[in-house]
Amino acid sequence: MLGVLVGLKAEARLIRARRPDAMVAISGASAAGAQAAIARLLEAGATRLLSFGCAAGLAPDLMPGALVIPQWVLVNGSRIKTDAVLSREFGVGEPGVLHGGILHSDGLVATAADKAALHAQTGCLAVDMESGFVANTGLPFAVLRVVCDDSKRDLPPAARDVLAEGRISPFKLIRSLVRQPGQIGDLMALGRDAKTARDEMARFLGRSA
């Protein structure tokens, strides 16, 4: 049985539309939430796992909408290989899909400077907050991620502080905008990039429909 770990409710809706047979658990974009979510999948009987959703780009040439199905996940300095069979099931080898490595982080990587440093240190294409928890279970697993914020983008303060229980918190968003109204332009640009990422993932998932 396939279990899918995502960060946000919007990502859960996207994968459920394509894989209604899978169990989906939402981390809420936090390490504690991811740990609890992966435990729920294991308790429910998952035998294969997928880490799914958005990622931050680390490689400088990756733009929003770039699709990554990595060959390995870097977790606390250790490379853990993805399952070749499950990776093929989700699109390894298809045109435009990137391979290589993806980095796990327990916290949000929010600045272009941090992304550049992590790419220089690890060589990973992208970073997310769920793949390490999937990789550490010991079960066969794959990762399917789409770049949302590229390596050159600093996340505006609102984007760093609005996530609550796996969705956008309107209260936190408004409070952040009142405090720092100058970030509105950057937030709108990030929203456009996020839409590009969602649209590309939806197109990719529906390629054989």
What 3-state class would DSSP assign to 91?
Answer: coil
The token pair at 100 is 């290589």
Residues in the chain: 209
Using a cut of 0.75, tell me whether the model's pTM lies above it: yes
Residues 6+ apart with CB under 8 A from 192: none
Listed in sequence order, the DSSP H helices in 44-183 are 84-89, 112-122, 131-135, 157-161, 170-179
| Rounded-to-integer distance, Cα 53 and Cα 8, Å | 8
Choose between 139 and 161: higher pLDDT. 139
Which residue segments constitute the domains of the chain, with CATH numbers given? Answer: 2-205 (3.40.50.1580)
Pairing of strands 101-104, 72-75: parallel
Confidence band, pLDDT 50/70/90 cuts, at residue 30 = confident
Distance CA 33, CA 21 (A): 23
Using the predicted structure, report yes or no on whether residue 136 has a pLDDT greater than 90. Answer: yes
The burial class, CB within 10 Å (0-12 / 13-18 / 19+), for 44 is exposed
**Model confidence pLDDT, tens digit, residues 181-194:** 878 788 888 889 99
pLDDT band at 98 (very low <50, low <70, confident <90, very high): very high
> What local confidence, expressed as pLDDT, does residue 166 receive?
53
Q: What is the mean pLDDT of residues 91-111?
A: 93
Whether residue 9 has pLDDT greater than 60: yes
Q: What is the pLDDT of residue 208?
A: 55
Please check the confidence at residue 165 and state whether its pLDDT lies above 70: no
Note the pLDDT tens digit of each residue in 70-80. 999 999 999 99
Confidence (pLDDT) at 163: 57
- Using the predicted structure, report yes or no on whether residue 162 has a pLDDT greater than 70: no
